[in-house]
C-alpha cells in the first residue's frame, strides 16, 4: 500500500511566502544602501552597450557569448576619433578584464593603449577600485542570503554586467549549473543593452520581477533580475534570483516535502539567545 503525504498548502504558503519577502527586502534594503562615498560626477556620454554596431560582445546561434574582434577594433578606431568618457571607460574595463591586447594587431593595440593612457583614466582606475569595494558588499549579501536557503532550489547570482564574458562573481545554490567566472546569458546581454538606452544614457530602470524562464533540461524557472547602478558608471551589475518551480509541483510530494524541510532548517548557535518581539515605544 502506498501512503501519500498530505500537503498543507496554507502552511506551506505561510513558510514560503515570508521567506521570499525576506529575500526581496534584504536585497533592496541592504543591497542598495552602501556606505558613505565621495561624490563623483557622472561620466558624460553613453555606455558602450548603447552603441549597437560597436559593442564587441555578441551571442552566437546557440546563445553563447563571445568577443567579436572586428567590432572591438571598430570601437577602438571610433572612440579614438570620437572620445566618449563613459564608453571608453567601459571599453578599457572590458578589454583589460579579457586581455584583449593579445587579440589586436600592432596598430590597434597602440590605439587601445593610448585610450587607456588618457589622463582622466587614472581617476577612473581609482573609481574601479571603489566599484570593487561596492561589489564586495553585494557578494556578502548574495552569499549570506543564498546560504540561508541552502539545500533549496533557490539560486542567487551576482553578475558584473560590464564584463559579460566573465560575468558571475558570486553564486549560491546553482540550480542552473553555472559557476564563478561563467558568462552572462543571451537574455542578460539584451538586458544590459536595454538599460544602456535609458534616460540620458545612464540606463536607470526598474527590476524584472517573477518572470518565467526554462532551463535547457526543460525545468520551469521563476526568475527576478534586480539591476545595480553606480552614480558614475550607471549599470554595473545584476542580482538574479532563480527558483526551480518544478520542485513545487503537487504531483511530486517527496520533492515538495524536501524543499519545505530545507527551507525551515536552522543552524544552532548558542551565542544567539535573542527573542524577537514587536517593538514598543514609551508614550
The string of DSSP letters for 93-108 reads HHHHHTTGGGGS-HHH
What is the pLDDT, as a whole number, of residue 201?
43
What is the pLDDT, as a whole number, of residue 177?
87
What is the pLDDT, as a whole number, of residue 248?
79
The DSSP secondary-structure symbol of 263 reads: H
Give the position of cell 563623483.
40
| Separation between Cα atoms, residue 150 and residue 22, nearest integer Å | 15
The three three-digit cell numbers of residue 4, written as one number = 501519500
Q: Which residue pairs, CB below 8 angstroms and at least 24 apart, start in 210-216?
A: 213/187, 213/242, 215/175, 215/176, 215/244
For the segment 209-224, the average pLDDT, to the nearest whole number, is 90
For the segment 161-186, the average pLDDT, to the nearest whole number, is 93
What is the pLDDT, as a whole number, of residue 14?
45
| Separation between Cα atoms, residue 223 and residue 244, nearest integer Å | 9
pLDDT of 87 over the 80 cut: yes
CA-derived radius of gyration, the chain:
22
What is the pLDDT, as a whole number, of residue 181?
94
Residue pair 163/93 in contact by the 8 Å Cβ criterion: yes
More confident residue, 121 or 249: 249
What is the pLDDT, as a whole number, of residue 19?
52
Most confident of 15-19, 158-162, 254-258: 158-162
| Separation between Cα atoms, residue 121 and residue 116, nearest integer Å | 6
| Separation between Cα atoms, residue 112 and residue 92, nearest integer Å | 8
Tell me what the pLDDT averaged over the chain comes to: 80
Residue pair 212/113 in contact by the 8 Å Cβ criterion: no
Residue pair 62/86 in contact by the 8 Å Cβ criterion: no
Residue pair 84/124 in contact by the 8 Å Cβ criterion: no
Domains of the chain, CATH where assigned: 9-37+135-264 (3.30.450.20), 48-124 (no CATH)
- Helices 9-26, 253-264: axis angle to 10 degrees equals 50
Percent of the chain with pLDDT over 70: 72
Residue pair 141/30 in contact by the 8 Å Cβ criterion: yes
| Separation between Cα atoms, residue 138 and residue 132, nearest integer Å | 10
What is the pLDDT, as a whole number, of residue 184?
95
The DSSP secondary-structure symbol of 41 reads: P
What is the pLDDT, as a whole number, of residue 202?
46
Residue 213 CB neighbour total at 10 angstroms? 13
For the segment 233-243, the average pLDDT, to the nearest whole number, is 91
Q: Where are the alpha helices (DSSP H) in the chain?
A: 9-26, 69-81, 85-97, 106-116, 119-148, 186-196, 253-264
Q: Using 50, 70 and 90 to split pLDDT, how confident is the model at 117? A: confident
Amino acid at each position: 500500500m502506498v501512503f501519500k503525504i498530505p500537503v498543507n498548502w496554507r502552511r506551506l504558503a505561510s513558510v514560503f511566502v515570508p521567506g521570499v519577502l525576506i529575500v526581496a527586502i534584504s536585497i533592496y534594503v541592504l543591497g542598495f544602501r552602501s556606505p558613505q562615498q565621495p561624490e563623483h560626477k557622472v561620466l558624460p556620454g553613453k555606455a558602450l552597450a548603447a552603441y549597437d554596431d560597436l559593442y564587441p560582445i555578441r551571442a552566437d546561434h546557440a546563445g553563447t557569448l563571445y568577443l567579436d574582434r572586428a567590432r572591438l577594433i571598430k570601437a577602438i578606431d571610433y572612440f579614438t576619433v570620437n572620445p566618449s568618457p563613459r564608453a571608453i571607460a567601459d571599453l578599457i574595463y572590458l578589454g583589460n578584464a579579457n586581455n584583449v591586447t593579445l587579440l589586436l594587431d600592432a596598430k590597434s593595440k597602440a590605439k587601445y593603449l593610448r585610450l587607456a593612457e588618457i589622463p582622466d583614466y587614472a581617476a577612473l582606475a581609482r573609481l574601479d577600485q571603489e566599484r570593487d569595494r561596492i561589489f564586495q558588499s553585494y557578494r556578502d549579501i548574495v552569499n549570506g542570503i543564498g546560504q540561508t536557503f541552502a539545500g533549496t532550489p533557490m539560486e542567487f547570482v551576482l553578475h558584473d554586467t560590464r564584463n559579460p564574458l566573465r560575468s558571475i562573481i558570486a553564486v549560491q545554490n546553482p540550480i542552473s549549473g553555472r559557476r564563478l567566472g561563467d558568462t552572462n546569458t543571451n537574455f542578460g546581454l539584451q538586458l544590459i543593452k536595454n538599460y544602456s538606452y535609458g534616460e540620458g544614457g545612464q540606463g536607470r530602470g526598474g527590476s524584472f520581477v517573477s518572470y518565467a524562464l526554462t532551463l535547457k533540461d526543460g525545468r520551469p524557472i521563476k526568475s527576478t533580475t534586480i539591476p545595480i547602478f553606480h552614480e558614475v558608471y550607471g549599470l554595473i551589475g545584476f542580482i538574479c534570483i532563480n527558483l526551480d518551480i518544478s520542485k513545487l509541483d503537487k504531483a511530486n510530494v517527496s520533492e515538495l516535502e524536501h524543499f519545505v524541510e530545507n527551507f525551515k532548517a536552522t543552524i544552532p548557535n548558542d551565542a544567539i539567545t535573542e527573542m524577537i518581539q514587536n517593538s514598543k515605544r514609551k508614550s
